[in-house]
A and B are shown apart, each in its own frame.
Chain A
Amino acid sequence: DQQVKQNSPSLSVQEGRISILNCDYTNSMFDYFLWYKKYPAEGPTFLISISSIKDKNEDGRFTVFLNKSAKHLSLHIVPSQPGDSAVYFCAASAPGAGANSKLTFGKGITLSVRP
């Protein structure tokens, strides 16, 4: 059973517009959420994160929103640029995972930004 779900496999947006990538989770124990970006032939790169004590975290063009009651988070990219075209993974962790940050990942969503 997937605890982190990215139900849309792909998204295509026009350059300059907003990209909204969605993620849902089922485990109410998750208290920290991360987004990773992956280019072909490279490993995932950490992008932005949010703790469950917050509902929004912003870093430049990237903003992550968390709705705990809906068990939903989203990544907003504005304005979108062609270089943002990549696979985006949502990940989550729960407390009590020991000293390590044990992450549960979604399947990823492929974002294509059209020039």
Chain B
Amino acid sequence: ETGVTQTPRHLVMGMTNKKSLKCEQHLGHNAMYWYKQSAKKPLELMFVYNFKEQTENNSVPSRFSPECPNSSHLFLHLHTLQPEDSALYLCASSQAGTGGHEQYFGPGTRLTVT
């Protein structure tokens, strides 16, 4: 595998379910990000991890819980979601601290909350 991978690619869940999204980067980067993309809206930054430490939580509701066990893996744990949480969830990585700003994205997980 190369680049940034995300699983599952599609997920349908009820409001009472608990599920997790997984992201893995194979680029040797040290920063990872979760974004939400809703229809007709810009990408919204949710969480930032730098060297496994969470450095940003962009006022995300607690029903979204991130986990970063190491620099290569990032999870987003979901519980008691609302229908308005249906969106494309994108993971990205970058090499922080070297002045580079480019982030590399995975293909996303299309989440539908019923």
Contact = CB atoms under 8 A, between A and B. Distances in A.
Contacts of A49: 101-102
A44 B90 contact: yes
A108 B42 contact: yes
A4 B41 CA distance: 12
Interface residues of B, number: 27
A65 interface: no
A48 to B, nearest CB: 10
Dominant secondary structure of chain A at its interface with chain B: loop
Nearest to B6: A43
A70 interface: no
B31 A43 contact: no
A62 interface: no
Given A106-B42, A107-B40, A107-B42, A100 B90 contact: no
A25 interface: no
A112 interface: no
Interface in A24-62: 32, 34, 36, 41-46, 49
Nearest to A93: B101
Contacts of B97: 99
A42 B107 contact: yes
A101 B103 contact: yes
A36 B100 CA distance: 15
Interface string B34-51: 000000111101001010
A103 interface: yes
A49 B96 CA distance: 16
A43 B45 contact: no
A107 B44 CA distance: 10
Contacts of A89: 42-43
10 contacts: A36-B105, A42-B107, A42-B108, A43-B105, A43-B108, A46-B104, A100-B55, A101-B100, A101-B103, A108-B42
Interface of A: 2, 4, 32, 34, 36, 41-46, 49, 89, 93, 98-108
